[in-house]
Amino acid sequence: MFAARAHGHTLPFALAILAVLAVLGLLPIDQGMRFTVVLAMSWGIAAVGLDLFSGYLGLANFGQFAFVGIGAYGITALRSEAHVNVVVALLLTLALAAVLAAVLGAAMVQLQHFGAALTTFFFAFVLFNVLGGNTLDPITHSENGLAVPPLSWGPLDLTANGPWLYWLAWAMLLATVAVTSNYANSRAGRALRLLKRSEPVAGTLGVRARLTKLGAFVFSAVVAAAAGLPLSLALGYLAPESFHFGNSITLFAMLVVGGIGSLAGPLIGALVFTALPQLMQGAGAAEALLFAAIFLVFVIALPDGLFGLLDAAWRRVPVPGGRLGRPRPLAAAADPPPPVEGDVLVAEDVAVVFGGVRALDGVSFRVRGGTIHALVGPNGAGKTTFLNCVSGLLRPTGGRIAVAGRDVGRSRTHQIRAMGVSRTFQNPSLVPDLSVLDNVRLGLYGSHRWSVARDLAGGWASRGRSRVVDGLAAAALERVGLAAARWDVLASELSLGEQKVVDIARAIAGGSRLLLLDEPTSGLGDEEIARVADLLKRLRTEHRLSILVVAHNVGFVQDTSDTVTVLDFGRVIAEGVPDRVIADPEVMTAYLGVAEAGAEVAAQ
Amino acid sequence: MGLVGAAAVSGVAVGFVYGMLAFSIVLLFKASGIPNFAQGNIATFGTFIVYLLAARAGLPLAAAIGLGFAGTAALGVVIYLGGMLPRGDAGTLNLAIRTLAIYLLLFAVMNLFWGVGQPFAFPRFLPAASMTVAGVSVSLLSLVTVAAAVVLGGAFWLLYNRTATGLLLRGIADRPEVARLLGADTARLSGLAWLLAGLVAVVVGLLTVPTALLSSDMMDSFFLYAFTAALLGGMTSLPGAFVGGVVVGVVSNVVTVLRGQEISILAIFALLIVILLVRPDGLFGHGVVERL
Amino acid sequence: MSGLEVAGLRAAYGSAVVLTGVDLQVGPGEVVGLVGRNGAGKTTTLRAISGTIPRRADGLSFDGAPLPARPYRVARLGVIHVPEGRLVLRGLSVEENLAFGAAAVGRPFGAAERERALAWFPPLGPLLPRPAGLLSGGEQQMLAIARGLMARPRLLMVDEMSLGLSPRAVRDVLAAVLSACREEGVALLMVDQNLRLLAAHCDRLYVLAGGATTCYRDAAGRSDEFWRSVYF
């Protein structure tokens, strides 16, 4: 998305809004107002569902209202044509929406932003035409409109005339907010937020990008379809105009203005901007103009929306004792993984060729279990390329890489993660709007089998596992030496040194046998470099981790590494113990440059 | 000639209109890297200006068209200066979403000021004649459309490929930072690109309006088809836009005749998805994948 | 005519201060080098001078005129920054990239200009019609520099020219750059990791450490031991 921050734990705000709506429902308001608020709540349901996909995962989706249309027409048609009971109609329609979303989503998740935007917008256009066309006319009665059969539940009249529709809509909104909030704040939600930040990093932590994105898309579509129930009952009569494709853009705009990625913000946006035009009579086009202008201004100047503004103001208020004063979870001592005997990593003649450039040209070396091995060389020598091969982000064009005896050349990132290989990145790529602890929890993503359904069910269903995860994450943070006071801070507020250390904690939290560190010291000052060096030595000695570290800093390498491999232009030019390698004249030349070229040029 | 054949021929004609709108989208995309979702509504807006001047203010049509060009070109520059230039480094996704806001904005403006009494019949500026070419009846409008496409297409192609200004326009989208380091005034050049896109938009509007009635949402389906055409041709290929347009035009007309309009829309939708999945660079584009 | 004068240059990325007070001068026609460890801020220095990032300085001028804040104005003043990573314009051919360099500052590009570019960088000759993105690293580096020279600058600033190039390519490119600049009377400021190479060719060498610079005059005459202590 346009770098909008997502916000965790916004449930209290959303519940406050629901409380206001409940109070409103108890007041003696007139019919017209009631109708307006029910309409607004229906849009609110669709908005909250959309926010999960566009705000937390960060992908554009301009087809959400089409699914509301599918919901409204599906439920109504089943009830009026097939005389199906409303609950069954709802379930069948949600299933239909899920299937359609899965098919559309299967294509969408392979596209980048522009493709996704255009595809979903076109889908909304297709649906609008289908609803207004002849093919589905028997179901949609497109010429005359489709009448919505009155609904009652026992003595309760759920049509637009009675007061009970308000409570139905309210209850559905409450359920939507609760479930979506659970999703956003769960392991699954963190995975979405990491995907938004960096797909490669997510891959190396075991996240399956396409499947995860598809799940989020289907979720938002199903929620939208559910919104069709209260909407159809309120309207009483369905006509295609109510589901014009422009509505999806308007809905998206409400998210942006309200504050995309906060659940509560889009809810406010939807409520306010649906209700206002209804309440201000006879000013239709002027509002649309005002709304579009507000939308434009927000996209340019306030992409974080109203909620973002509130959040920024809220952060300025100093709170003694920290903001999220949760009791510290007990740091459970994680069982150290069994040390690897023999070679933990073997590279044989590894080659990587990109369009004529040999990034790696026959690289062979070994890393013994339980040691720290440095991979050094000037910029562009191929070090990161090599790490990408080992972690599965890149497939080598030739040669063999084996981890603890198993060939990984054709394995995918999450499979390699499952084998106990974890890594850090030159750019730590922490999720900026998650706390340090939440970021480290992501390191445990691939460690246990889990289901999104349990995440949706919320806190009580996952409490046991939550405690385990918290404990392991805290243990990792203690191991890397980050003060507990920093654990609740948002990652965007950390210094570079702290970010790099949290990246390491994220990598070791899930237990690993081989840790790949990509330039853990670049950009750091001397003190921080010394701290990182100490950490690595502790990890090796106390926790028996095998480490392959890419570094530039010669002093750091001498201090920490048992053995060194030097790369230059994709080839190994030296190998051995640090002292000897650094004194090697060829290595000196690679680092300081070639003097002969100078002599030749001067002679011209 | 059968029904399908006639549909194909008229599909070519309407394809050139899609192609021209696609052409204006590609013009702007080449110079800015941004897909302009508001391009259809800019065309409608320009057509409204001409309509108001000719039908309501009573100006001679030629003058109205001239002023329409000027006004729409100015609109393009205003949109750029007000909507795209501020915080112009916000990223292509943010900028693309701004064009959606502008789409909504223009639609609202047209409804607010000229909503009453829509749709309007545009004053006739072409005789409704038709000729027979190779056994097929071809309307004068179609011939004028093709001629306009050739002239405009040729002129802009020359501008983009044979002049220094065109070279600069083509270069600033890939790496605007580098262009600035070399001395290019990217703001002025981008403003120019939006101005040119506005000019072409008016032509598209004028060629559409004889067969449609003038309304705020006149271009809605057109612009989605135009995007599909632009993608099919390759978002960086000017001639490709016309090729894509003709393909979309022919496919949609033929399928409409065989199976009806809804299936035809579905067919174009399917075409869009296939292009995006299988060949995002389109037929003639290159190196666009990462920018999308 | 005084060339580039930089005094007390300060720059930061957000709250991370990178440059605390950089001083350097490049006189007309001089060849000056800027070296330092990875992450010292060499690229930041060039970006600050060209206006790519916001900066403050006690003095920042070229030929007596203060350097403007916006990069395209700095370029039109005669200071061309060739950024690291080569960054050729991928949608254009080699020849079009060269022409762009001239067009951006409003200069003509015809047969004469083309010949001049090819005289400095003969390997570009057969590559003229090829899409620039398909060239090898060394070829792209030559193109980026030639493109910069098409603007007829008075000062050329080249960032990390040798990055990712083979020793032979570095040798060829450097020889071409030095001779082109000498011919045209263009001053040259080079930032590079290849310390020995710069030491052998530059009139003066600045070492960037701790956000500030130290100037070394007789760079060519210093020993490897000396440089190793400075660099590491």
**pLDDT digits over B35-93, tens only?**
999 999 999 999 999 999 998 888 898 999 999 999 999 999 999 999 999 998 888 88
Q: Identify whether B123 is preceded by a cis peptide bond (ω within 30 of 0).
A: no
Let me know if residue B283 belongs to a domain.
no
> What is the pTM for the complete model shown?
0.87
Let me know if residue B285 belongs to a domain.
no
Identify the three-state secondary structure at position A196. helix
B21 CB near a chain C CB, below 8 Å? no
Share of chain A above pLDDT 70, in %: 89
The answer to whether B171 contacts C81, with C-beta atoms less than 8 Å apart, is no
Share of chain C above pLDDT 70, in %: 97
For residue A110, what is the nearest residue in chain B, using CA coordinates? B277
* SS3 sequence of chain B: CCHHHHHHHHHHHHHHHHHHHHHHHHHHHHHHCCCCCCHHHHHHHHHHHHHHHHHHCCCCHHHHHHHHHHHHHHHHHHHHHHHHCCCCCCCHHHHHHHHHHHHHHHHHHHHHHHCCCCCECCCCCCCCCEEEECCEEEEHHHHHHHHHHHHHHHHHHHHHHHCHHHHHHHHHCCCHHHHHHCCCCHHHHHHHHHHHHHHHHHHHHHHHCCCCCECCCCCHHHHHHHHHHHHHHCCCCHHHHHHHHHHHHHHHHHHHHHHCHHHHHHHHHHHHHHHHHHCCCCCCCCCCHHHC
pLDDT tens track for C117-173: 999 999 999 999 998 988 887 889 999 999 999 999 999 999 988 876 777 778 888
B26 CB near a chain A CB, below 8 Å? no
Q: What is the CATH number of the domain that holds B207?
A: 1.10.3470
B188 CB near a chain C CB, below 8 Å? no
Identify the three-state secondary structure at position A485. helix
Q: What is the pLDDT of residue A318?
A: 62
User: Structure tokens of C24?
Assistant: 């350097």
Q: What is the pLDDT of residue A324?
A: 46
Q: What is the pLDDT of residue A602?
A: 37
H or E segment and range at residue C15:
none
Distance of alpha carbon A403 from alpha carbon A387, whole angstroms = 12
Let me know if residue B291 belongs to a domain.
no
Share of chain C above pLDDT 90, in %: 62
Which residues does chain A have with pLDDT short of 50?
1, 321-327, 329-330, 333, 595-604
Let me know if residue B284 belongs to a domain.
no
Give the one of A378, A496, A593 whose C-beta lies nearest to C196's C-beta: A593
Which residues does chain B have with pLDDT short of 70?
1, 134-135, 287-292
Q: What is the pLDDT of residue B289?
A: 43
Distance of alpha carbon B276 from alpha carbon B268, whole angstroms = 12
Let me know if residue B288 belongs to a domain.
no
Q: What is the pLDDT of residue A420?
A: 87
How high is the ipTM of this complex? 0.93
Contact A524, A532 (CB under 8 A): yes
The boundaries of the domain holding residue B250 are 3-122+130-278
Q: What is the pLDDT of residue A327?
A: 46
Distance of alpha carbon A482 from alpha carbon A494, whole angstroms = 11
Let me know if residue B25 belongs to a domain.
yes
The answer to whether C201 contacts A601, with C-beta atoms less than 8 Å apart, is yes
Let me know if residue B215 belongs to a domain.
yes
The number of angstroms, rounded, from the C-alpha of A210 to the middle of its chain's C-alpha atoms is: 12
Q: What is the pLDDT of residue A449?
A: 66
Q: What is the pLDDT of residue C117?
A: 94
B positions 95-124 inside 8 Å of A (CB): 96-98, 100-105, 107-109, 111-112, 115
Q: How confident is the model at residue C17 (pLDDT cuts 50, 70, 90)?
A: confident
Contact C26, C3 (CB under 8 A): yes
Distance of alpha carbon C157 from alpha carbon C74, whole angstroms = 12
Q: What is the pLDDT of residue A589?
A: 74
Chain A residue numbers touching B102 (CB-CB < 8 A): 292, 296
Let me know if residue B292 belongs to a domain.
no
A positions 485-544 inside 8 Å of C (CB): 496, 522-523
C148: distance to nearest CA of chain A, Å? 22
- How many domains would you assign to chain B? 1
Distance of alpha carbon A520 from alpha carbon A514, whole angstroms = 15
Give the one of A588, A593, A599 whose C-beta lies nearest to C194's C-beta: A593
